[in-house]
Copies of this chain bind each other. A is one copy, B any other.
């Protein structure tokens, strides 16, 4: 008899070679798998840890989700303490739930929310260098705030997918977006909430928004890019260090409660 545990965790992606387990590399999945097997006194890898999806090297998470089957009956709170006592300080488990054995962290995902942070200012702030993308040229926030709305809806995102993405449909739905002009921290924050995002999609979408904010593209160029379905025309990809996986949604999490402001505009 095993229990299935759903864990929600944050990580600072700076020192990880991404999420997915790889030989000789420090990855989130690799570290968690080692910790879970050690707690269960199993050989490393005997118990698998299934994440909701990958994040790239340098990408952070405020609330990533994974599941695993554990051979002993440990209360959720003891599992939380145990995991945190064994995880390195750049991973923090925030929540543990015992779930039914048919829950799957990846297959059951109904939505994901990502945050992208861009810091402005003449020079790179040493305390933000790993936690925001730095863009020293002036960005007109109001242009971005208008343009980002063009992403909302069901679209073919072929113009916004990196060439390395796996084949398949490029049609995705973005439920809501949000742009915040954080003047206190001289920072622009962009949120995207959708049913799923492809390889580098958000980093390419943000790069287009930045070009619009600098006046290098017309404010509604996203409408055109969605039509032409041509990655070459979107050009740039923003760096990984500004990107955060903010939330993973499963059936029962009500999406309507989040990002109300922009949902009402739909």
Contact = CB atoms under 8 A, between A and B. Distances in A.
A93 interface: yes
B89 A12 contact: no
Contact of A123 (B92, B123, B125, B129): B92
B123 A131 contact: no
A238 interface: no
Interface residues of A, number: 18
A12 B90 contact: no
A11 interface: yes
Interface string A91-102: 111100000000
A252 interface: no
A9 to B, nearest CB: 9
Task: Give the number of times this chain occurs in the complex, counting copies.
Answer: 2
B126 A12 contact: yes
A10 interface: yes
Nearest to A91: B126
A131 B126 contact: no
Interface centre among A123, A125, A129 (most CB of B within 10 A): A123
A127 interface: yes
Contacts of A124: 89, 92
Contacts of A60: 127
A48 interface: no
A147 to B, nearest CB: 29
A90 B131 contact: no
B127 A12 contact: yes
Contacts of A91: 126
Interface in A3-52: 10-12
A158 to B, nearest CB: 34
A237 interface: no
A58 to B, nearest CB: 13
A189 interface: no
A92 B125 contact: yes
A84 interface: yes
**What 8 pairs between A and B have smallest CB-CB spacing?**
A12-B126, A89-B129, A90-B126, A84-B123, A92-B126, A92-B123, A89-B124, A10-B126
Given A12-B127, A12-B129, 12 more contacts: A10-B127, A11-B126, A12-B126, A89-B124, A89-B126, A90-B129, A91-B126, A92-B123, A92-B124, A92-B126, A94-B123, A127-B131
